[in-house]
Amino acid sequence: MCVAGVHAIHIDMTNDELLKEVTVKAEKWLGDRYDEETRKEVKALLDAEDKTPLIEAFYKDLEFGTGGLRGIMGAGSNRMNIYTVGAATQGLANYLKDAFAELPQISVVVGHDVRNNSRKFAELTAEVFAANGIKVYLFDGPCPTPEVSYAIRKLGCQSGVMVTASHNPKEYNGYKAYWSDGAQMIAPHDVKTIEYVNAVTSVDQIKFDGDKSLIQIVGKDIDDQYLADIHKLSLCPELDKKHHDMKIVYTPIHGTGLRLIFDSLKLWGFDNVIHVPEQDVQSGDFPTVVSPNPENSEAMTLGIAKAKETGASLVLASDPDADRVGLVVRDKEGNYQLVNGNQICMLLIYYIITQNVEQKLMNGNEYVVKTIVTTEAVKRIADANNVRCFDCFTGFKWIADVMRNEEATGRYLGGGEESYGFLPETFVRDKDAISTNSLIAECAAWADEKGLNLYELLVDIYAQYGFSRERGVSVVRPGKSGAEEITAMMKNFRENPPKTLAGSPVTCIKDYLDLNCRNLKDGSVEKMNFPTTSNVLQFFTEAGDKVSVRPSGTEPKIKFYVEVREEMPDKSKYEEVVAASEKHIDAVLADLGVK
């Protein structure tokens, strides 16, 4: 995509050449095709003595990738602004008109989060779609990402857009594109959309003036249907009522979860849900946190303080677009402990399967889904209960792909990933903090009925299915040299894989770039069944450890996911085993050369 008529500039030129190219490109943004505010901002960049901000804003075009757009907001071809968003929408509209040419009326859903400029970008997106003759259902205010997925399916739309940068820092915004099944796009639609977006090379190609009659505002009507469908997921409604006064702290961390999660918990029967008032404030500045990410302990600090103040047994959270969850539970000493994404997935898969077994709901075609970097404990739980467990690539679009393929014959029980995303329903095709938080609360009520809290329930699950511990490490390598270093690291791991990790022989290597699974014990090679390839390596050891290595698709980093096994002879030894496993992980990372 290049809305200034100049294609992406490679950064490997001399500073003088780069500045000259960038200046020519930026000066095109001073023309009357651009609004006054944009022209003023670009003029300031051109006039500034320090040319670094100018170069960063224009040295390339903000790339429309397989998930859409994400970038820093501001003027420039490499920034999120009305022109880059307009070009993305025009390209998507062009593809939709070709892909669904037989339909008398194409329709889409447009939603947005609480970020600065999100409403502006959402309204612009709606108007560009409408200018192309496409019917738009535009949410009346900030809404959760999963509700957009829900609305696409409920309203029978062909596509949808969610304006969000998830839990990125406040300077960012983004644009997620969805297909007719409510999932983010995969091949061929992601590739075709990118082609159509890249074909928009001038602002003149963007239709900005939409037919307002094609834009319909939606809100409470969709909210009510969505909440009603989520409530149908309850597996123990009588226990929810019995434990209605269980103290639960919930924080939306300034985000869209405020719209529905309190209502959902109340509908499920929980009427003692405690607010964190400072974080109920919907703000794109995220004033109480450094990063609005429930994975980070810092973002949970105020929620934990409120739990200590009120004696609540658990803290629930969601990120700004309410697709990821956060969970803090109280241990046997009364201390509050963060539950990681692997444990959340494990806990909920265990709860859902156990309830289905106890209620005699199993019919033999059940399945669960996890990503390849998510804990193997999920598979152990599934296998022990004769439930199929599918592995897929990182990202919920791949979990949705499994759901699509199994729709006719299988019964989906749940799916999740280590990065704090879970989906317990089929009427949404992306991770969902509204349904997940509701289900966590019910699981806590169920545990309470057994005289346990969620911390103790986690220990019980480990005792029954085997202990494992996970840690993710990201090694950041910014810039062109960093990208080359990451490429070299992946090449070295392929050509010189570790022979042992933490003293245990590596017995299996899975390379998702060629889909070969190599058994190092007998030398056999087996082809893995995946819909495409991915730049991911996995090493498995005789001790049962798993290491996954992959470059990030959106950030200048290489990611290491380590999962180790340890024997836990008795539940009373849990804390000791946790400590031993942390040292075990340190040893694995040392063998990989990761600090």
Give the tens place of pLDDT for each residue, 304-341. Answer: 999 999 999 899 999 999 999 999 999 888 999 999 99
pLDDT at 11: 45
Q: What is the DSSP string of 210-272?
A: --GGGEEEE-HHHHHHHHHHHHTT-S-HHHHHHTTT--EEEE-TTSGGGGTHHHHHHHHT---
The single-letter code of the amino acid at 216 is: Q
Q: Is 479's pLDDT higher than 80?
A: no
Antiparallel, parallel or unpaired: β 273-275 and 248-251: parallel
> Which CATH number is 15-218 given?
3.40.120.10
Token look-up 């008109």 returns 97
CA-to-CA dists, residue 323 to 210, 431, 595, angstroms = 30, 5, 31
Residues 544 and 325: their CA atoms lie apart, in Å, by 28
Q: Which CATH number is associated with domain 223-465?
A: 3.40.120.10
Is the confidence at residue 151, as pLDDT, over 80?
A: yes
% of the chain beyond a pLDDT of 90: 92
Distance CA 99, CA 369 (A): 30
pLDDT score, position 478: 82
User: What are the domain boundaries of the chain?
Assistant: 15-218, 223-465, 467-592
Per CATH, 15-218 and 223-465 having the same topology is answered yes
Residue whose pair of structure tokens reads 């869209």 in the numeric block: 256
Q: Is the pLDDT of residue 359 over 90?
A: yes
Query: Can you give the pLDDT at residue 333?
Result: 86
d(CA 468, CA 453): 20
Average pLDDT over residues 541-554: 92
pLDDT of the residue at 351 = 98
**Cα–Cα dist 416/47, whole Å:** 49
User: Can you give the pTM of this predicted structure?
Assistant: 0.95
In which band, very low, low, confident or very high, does the pLDDT at 482 lie, cut at 50, 70 and 90? confident
**pLDDT (0 to 100) of residue 199:** 97
What span, in angstroms and rounded, lies between the C-alpha atoms of 334 and 328? 12
Element (H, E) at 129: helix 118-131
Largest separation between any pair of C-alpha atoms in the chain: 73
* pLDDT higher than threshold 90 for residue 237: yes
Q: Is the pLDDT of residue 10 over 50?
A: no
Q: What is the pLDDT of residue 483?
A: 84
Q: What is the mean pLDDT of the chain?
A: 95
CA separation for the pair 480, 478 (Å, rounded): 7
**467-592, CATH topology level:** TATA-Binding Protein (3.30.310)
pLDDT in tens, 269-313: 999 999 999 999 999 999 999 999 999 999 999 999 999 999 998
pLDDT digits (tens, 9 = 90+) for 413-446: 999 999 999 999 999 999 999 999 999 999 999 9
- State the pLDDT at residue 13: 47
Alpha-carbon span 264 to 150, nearest angstrom: 15
Q: What is the Cα–Cα distance from 228 to 139, expressed in whole angstroms?
A: 18
Interval 179-205: pLDDT, tens? 999 999 999 999 999 999 999 999 999
Do residues 26 and 34 lie in contact, with contact meaning Cβ atoms separated by under 8 Å?
no
pLDDT at 206 over 50: yes
* Res 262: pLDDT: 98
- Rounded to an integer, what distance in angstroms lies between the CA atom of residue 550 and that of residue 559? 5
**What pLDDT does residue 67 have?**
82
* Residue range 128-144: mean pLDDT, rounded: 98
From the list 226, 276, 257, the residue with the least C-alpha distance to 322 is: 257
Check: CB of residue 180 under 8 Å from CB of residue 152.
yes
Query: Known catalytic residues?
Result: 166
Read off the pLDDT of residues 78-100 as tens digits, 9 standing for 90 and up: 999 999 999 999 999 999 999 99
